[in-house]
């Protein structure tokens, strides 16, 4: 039977080399693994089958908001039951990315989230994640760096988070991120922390312009020193903030499916990413939380192609823009961009 045009498109986009700058470890857990871990460790959630567990850890509805989306993560914390489990989650997240031909990924995680269930230290969980990520990267012949995420709703251990990020800067940690409920928790209390992180040599990214206005993007850039913005869809509401982002060379980690599931946009067709690109903003496409969303980066590339009219060359440019803003050295970025461009040229020649 002949392969349909849709199947052929998906196969081509699945084969495309990709870059992922915004993927949360805690949102990348396989449902089957959660069932297995939950049963083995007696986690107190419905575990009769996948469909019993699914609505607790995945988005299964339409028209939700950021608060509903974030409600999945306290439940996921129940599953961080041992060093072996945390390492397994990390290995599988890298393996799943490699299966999508993601050549370079920055995997972010919140050490407090991983440590809290069993009372581990932040150093312990960072060791387990770093070791597993580096081993999986070697196994799958891809590059993986790590970002420490600070949750806006958990300020108590923020200084400890900075210290552990610095301690592991030689073991894959390249940046710090501010995430969580931006509606009710503004960034102001975290300004000194992120200024200190930047001064110590860490890169800075921050969730902004997702649940609130373009003003939160301005705050992330001016107050936190963010070099990249997670989501940032609402930046299009203010031409002055867009100008600021262009002038500062700030890149945007756009997450299409995530933004639909949190009602940042009503549909893929309504997503402002085309406006962002039209106004000269540096944009990459990312998943955010593929396990929670029950989606993949390839899905978002397919959606961008079909619903936003982004052809293959346009999607390749998005991948390259992501590579250009990776939190690695200038030399490594240049090599990554060159390697990707070479692959694109080879694929173009075979089309």
Considering 92, 210, 253, 316, which one is annotated as catalytic?
A: 210
* Average pLDDT for the chain: 96
Confidence of residue 3 (pLDDT cuts 50, 70, 90): low
* Mean pLDDT across 138-161: 95
- Of 21-35, 58-72, 161-175, 229-243, give the lowest mean pLDDT range: 58-72
Residue 96 sits in a domain of what CATH number?
3.20.20.140
| pLDDT given at position 6 | 75
What residues form DSSP beta bridges with 175?
147, 203
The domain tally of the chain equals: 1
* Mean pLDDT across 249-278: 97
* Percent of the chain surpassing pLDDT 90: 91
- Is the model's pLDDT at 27 over the cut of 80? yes
- Is the model's pLDDT at 200 over the cut of 80? yes
What is the span of the domain harbouring residue 89? 5-350
- Residue range 107-140, pLDDT digits in tens: 999 999 999 999 999 999 999 999 999 999 999 9
**Annotated catalytic, 210?**
yes
Place of tokens 């499916």: 257
Distance CA 3, CA 113 (A): 44
Task: Tell me the angle at which helices 330-350 and 312-324 cross, rounded to the nearest 10 degrees.
Answer: 170
| pLDDT given at position 183 | 85
* Mean pLDDT across 159-177: 97
* Maximum separation of any 2 CA atoms in the chain, in Å: 61
Distance CA 223, CA 225 (A): 6
Place of tokens 């100008």: 243
Query: What is the DSSP secondary-structure string of 203-222?
Result: EEEEEESSSS-HHHHHHHHH
Distance CA 87, CA 24 (A): 15
| pLDDT given at position 197 | 98
| pLDDT given at position 5 | 75
- Residue range 330-351, pLDDT digits in tens: 999 999 999 999 999 998 876 5
Confidence of residue 1 (pLDDT cuts 50, 70, 90): very low
Distance CA 146, CA 125 (A): 13
| pLDDT given at position 347 | 83
| pLDDT given at position 350 | 60
* Mean pLDDT across 19-25: 98
Query: What is the DSSP secondary-structure string of 59-125?
Result: --SSS--HHHHHTHHHHHGGG--SHHHHHHHHHHHHHHHHHTTEEEEEEEE-HHHHHHTTT--HHHH
| pLDDT given at position 2 | 46
- Residue range 300-318, pLDDT digits in tens: 999 999 999 999 999 999 9
| pLDDT given at position 322 | 98
| pLDDT given at position 7 | 81
Are the CB atoms for 290 and 96 separated by under 8 Å? yes
φ, ψ for residue 283 (rounded to 5)? -130, 135
Q: What pTM, to 2 d.p., does this model score? A: 0.96
């Amino acid at each position: 039977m002949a392969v349909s045009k849709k199947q052929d498109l998906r196969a081509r986009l699945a084969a495309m080399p990709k870059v992922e700058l915004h993927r949360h470890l805690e949102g990348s857990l396989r449902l089957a693994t959660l069932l297995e871990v939950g049963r083995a460790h007696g986690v107190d959630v419905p575990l009769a089958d996948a469909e019993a567990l699914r609505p607790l850890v995945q988005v299964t509805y339409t028209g939700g908001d950021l608060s509903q989306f974030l409600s999945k993560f306290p439940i996921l914390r129940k599953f961080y039951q041992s060093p072996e489990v945390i390492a397994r989650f990390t290995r599988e997240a890298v393996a799943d990315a490699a299966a999508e031909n993601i050549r370079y990924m920055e995997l972010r995680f919140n050490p407090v989230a991983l440590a809290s269930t069993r009372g581990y230290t932040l150093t312990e969980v960072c060791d387990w994640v770093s070791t597993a990520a580096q081993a999986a990267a070697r196994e799958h012949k891809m590059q993986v760096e790590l970002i420490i995420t600070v949750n806006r709703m958990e300020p108590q251990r923020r200084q400890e988070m900075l210290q552990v990020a610095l301690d592991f800067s030689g073991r894959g940690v390249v940046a710090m991120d501010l995430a969580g409920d931006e509606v009710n928790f503004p960034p102001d209390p975290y300004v000194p922390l992120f200024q200190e992180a930047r001064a110590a040599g860490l890169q800075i990214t921050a969730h902004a312009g997702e649940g609130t206005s373009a003003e939160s993007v301005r705050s992330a850039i001016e107050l936190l020193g963010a070099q990249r913005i997670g989501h940032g869809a609402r930046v299009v509401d203010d031409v002055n903030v867009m100008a600021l982002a262009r002038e500062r060379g700030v890149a945007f980690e756009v997450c299409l499916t995530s933004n639909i599931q949190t009602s940042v946009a009503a549909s893929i067709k309504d997503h402002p990413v085309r406006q962002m690109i039209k106004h000269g903003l540096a944009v990459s496409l990312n998943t955010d939380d593929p396990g929670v969303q029950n989606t993949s980066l390839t899905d978002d590339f397919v959606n961008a192609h079909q619903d936003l009219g982004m052809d293959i060359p346009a999607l390749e440019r998005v991948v390259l823009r992501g590579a250009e803003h990776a939190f690695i050295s200038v030399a490594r970025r240049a090599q990554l961009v060159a390697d990707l461009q070479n692959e694109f040229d080879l694929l173009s020649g075979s089309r």
